[in-house]
Chains A and B, each alone.
Chain A
Amino acid sequence: MLVVTYLIYIVVSLGVTIWVARTLQQHGRAFLVNAFKDNEGLADSVNHLLVVGFYLINLGYVCITLKAKNSPVTVADAIELLSSKIGIILLVLGGMHFFNIYVFNRLRRSGLLEMFEPPVEPDQVLPNKI
């Protein structure tokens, strides 16, 4: 029973991690292209690096939390164990996902900020030096 639970846990965790990472990669690209002023090469590179980091942290967490304290005896025990473990993984993934969106948004904002005109008009314009 324990081995089956572990296998289901790994398959579900991997599936969800891959799905979230792909969603991030596909939809985060537009943010990054905008942040890096249409430099698609750089945007793709940063996007890829962020997704690699995302995979490493999540898969690392899945591995660490694999071991169960008490092995399930009945099917109900197995479902309870799976539900709590996958629930934690989903929360971690959600947290990581929002963190990534925050990073994307920050990059985009800092890219946009550079293009803003000064907030006030000058008091005077000096003649050019000859």
Chain B
Amino acid sequence: MKTKIINITVLYDGQCEFCRQCVKWLKGQNSFFPIKFLASQTGQAREQFPELINEFKAGRFIVVTSNREVYFDSKGKLFCLYSLIDYRNLSLILGSPKFFKYTNTAFNYIAEKRYNISSVLLYLNRIAK
């Protein structure tokens, strides 16, 4: 039996508009435990997780739990869904051995296209203003 997770920290690319929008969405959801968000470019992220400095690359999405377990990219995104009350069920389906390879492909595709998605989001933001 694993130790209970008390909180998680999400390290994201603060220069990516798509990532910022995802974080904004995550902040609006109800979660099973508190979620802390840190842009990986900040000094605070480097100070708190010096072991992960080499992983702080553009577009990387990292989740660190209170048990010091680290989940990268697709697994990180899946873990975020697992943290949310309304999406835990979905995360269990998407993360099941049958579906994970498709989930991984889909998340990687979105991550690859994040700049295109970011520019669309920025354009939509500009129109909205």
Contacts and interface: CB of A to CB of B under 8 A. Distances in A.
Interface of A: 109-110, 113-114, 116-120, 122-128
Nearest to B2: A117
A118 B51 contact: no
Contacts of A127: 51, 68
A43 B71 CA distance: 37
Contacts of A126: 49, 51-52, 64, 68-70
Contacts of A120: 71, 75, 78-79, 95, 100
Nearest to B65: A122
A116 B92 contact: yes
A123 B72 contact: yes
Contacts of B52: 126
Interface in B17-67: 32, 49, 51-52, 64-65, 67
Contacts of B15: none
Contacts of B91: 119
B96 A122 contact: no
B105 interface: no
B88 interface: yes
B89 A124 contact: no
A11 to B, nearest CB: 44
B85 interface: yes
A124 B70 contact: yes
A125 B3 CA distance: 13
Contacts of B82: 118-119
A128 B94 CA distance: 30
B95 to A, nearest CB: 2
Contacts of A109: 89
Given A114-B32, A120-B79, A125 B94 contact: no
A110 B85 contact: yes
A113 B88 contact: yes
A106 B111 CA distance: 34
Interface in B82-121: 82, 85, 88-89, 91-92, 94-96, 100
13 contacts: A109-B89, A113-B85, A117-B2, A118-B71, A118-B79, A118-B82, A118-B95, A119-B91, A119-B100, A120-B75, A120-B79, A122-B65, A122-B70
A110 B88 CA distance: 9
Nearest to B94: A119
Contacts of B96: 119
